[in-house]
Amino acid sequence: MSAHAGTIDHHHDHTTVTGIPNKKLFMWAFLASDCMFFGALISTHVIYRLHPAPDITDPLRVFSLELTSFSTFILLMSSLLMALAVGACQKGKVEATRKMILGTIFFGLIFLGCQVYEFTHFVHLGMTLKSDIFGSTFYTLTGTHGVHVAIGILWLVFMYIRTFKPADASRAWIARGLTQFAAFAIATVAVMVMMLEVTHAGAEHGYTNFNALAGALFHTPFVAISTTAFALSIGVLFLLGRSSWAVDFGEANAIDVESMGLYWHFVDIVWIVIFTVVYLLEYL
């Protein structure tokens, strides 16, 4: 913690025996463990695809390859931004790190949004957790992955707020940090509400009939409220997204960002597997 001066060698940590930073080692060990975690979960899904119950939902009836491909692409891009965030932080560029983290959060949220949309859509089509075993394994597997994404987003948000921590320990910034956090939370919830409203309206009136869609959307106050909340919270985030003081965040924190990145990338590769095993293979 005292190693502020001088350049930091990001490939060798002199305080540890192996030269690998403790946090990095911790993350890799954790990811090894997570391999078993998802291994068991994916096995369950595949076993039940191998031995399906007689009247399960036909996956092809509900799946939408366009949507899934899109969200897969989005997750890949978020991974890119994450990698860039790590790179930026290693060079001590706080501003760039913040931007990249924000971008990652944004893409992650799009992914989650797609998943929320997908789930509600499937439920509309009659496939639920309880409806059949395919629903059970599908939602549990992709949902667990979704929870991992959500935890990742939470972590990113914390890290983003962390970049504002003043170097002067006596400055009170808890209130500020909490406001930032609340703004994130409100924005996220607002977006999800908007998405759900659109899905709802679309399912009832068809997505192509723009007028009917618009009419249905503004029929209830939800959309207006959530849009306003979204705009406001983004505004707050923008305002708070600047710091005039010296921050306690820099190159030395690259390892924190990197650990978070490892987690995020791992969630991405789990999705790579899920995309192939759960979605693509169904089309054969």
Partner 1 sequence: MSAHAATAPHAAHDAHHDDGKFHLFVQIAMILAVITGVEIVLIYIPLAKWLIVTSLVVLSLVKFLMVIFWFMHLKFDKAFCTILFFIGMVLAGGTVAALMLLFSARDSVPLSAQTIYAERAAAAAE
Partner 2 sequence: MATATTAAYTAPEAKPASRPWFFARPAAKTGLVGWLTTVDHKKIGLLYAITSLFFFLVGGIEALLIRVQLAVPNNTFISHQLYNELFTMHATTMIFLAVMPLSAAFFNYMMPLQIGARDVAFPRLNGFAFWVFMAGAILLNVGWFTKAGAPDVGWFGYAPLTSNAYSNQFVGDVSTDLWIIGLQVLGVSSVIGSLNFIVTIINMRAPGLTMMRLPVFTWMTLFTAFLIILSFPAITIALVELMMDRSFGTGFFEVAMGGMPILWQHLFWIFGHPEVYILILPAMGIVSEILPTFARKPLFGYPIVVFSGAVIGFLGFGVWSHHMFTTGMGTIATAAFSLATMAIAVPTGVKIFNWVGTLWGGQIITRTPMMFALGFIWMFMMGGFSGVMHSAAPADAQQQDSYFVVAHFHYVLIGGSIFALLAGIHYWFPLVFGRIVSEFWGKLSFWVIFVGFNATFFPMHFLGLNGMPRRTAVYDGNMGWNNANLLATIGAFILAVGIGIYFAVIVYTYFKGKKTSHDIWDARTLEWTVPTTPPPEHNFHVTPTVHARDAFWYEKTHAKEIAAEKARVAAETEAHGGIHMPSQSWYPLVTAMGLFIGALFFAHHNYTGAIVGAGILLVGVLGWAFEGPGGYHLHVKPDGTVTGGEGQDEAKH
Binding site for partner 1 (CB under 8 A): 11, 18-20, 24-25, 28-29, 31-36, 38-40, 42-43, 46-47, 50-54, 65, 69, 72-73, 76-77, 79-80, 82-84, 86-87, 90-91, 258, 261-262, 265-266, 268-269, 272-273, 275-276, 280-281, 283-284
If contact means CB under 5 to 8 A according to the sort of partner, which of partner 2, partner 1, none does residue 269 touch? partner 1
* Cα–Cα nearest to 108, from 270, 272, 267, 284: 267
Distance CA 38, CA 17 (A): 31
The angle subtended at Cα 201 by Cα 271 and Cα 134, nearest 5°, is 40
Closer to partner 2 at the Cβ: 177 or 241?
Answer: 177
| Residue 211 site contact among partner 2, partner 1, none (CB < 5 to 8 Å, cut-off depends on kind) | none
CB atoms within 10 A of CB 125: 13
Report the nearest approach of partner 1 to the CB of residue 277 (Å): 8
Binding residues for partner 2, rule: CB under 8 A, are: 1-2, 16-18, 20, 22, 25-26, 29-30, 32-34, 36-37, 39-41, 44, 47-48, 51-54, 56, 129-130, 132-133, 135-137, 139-140, 144, 158, 162, 165, 169-170, 172, 174-175, 177, 181, 248
Q: How far is the CB of 210 from partner 1 (least distance, A)?
A: 28
The one of partner 2, partner 1, none whose footprint includes residue 84, by CB under 5 to 8 A per kind, is partner 1
Min dist. Cβ of residue 137 to partner 1 (A)? 13
Q: Which residues in 73-91 are b (16+ Cβ under 10 Å) and which e?
A: ebbebbbebbbbbbbbbbe
Give the CA diameter of the chain: 67
The burial class, CB within 10 Å (0-12 / 13-18 / 19+), for 164 is buried
Q: Given CA atoms 274, 85, 1, 151 in this order, what sign does their dihedral have?
A: negative
Please tell me the total number of residues recorded for the chain in this structure.
284
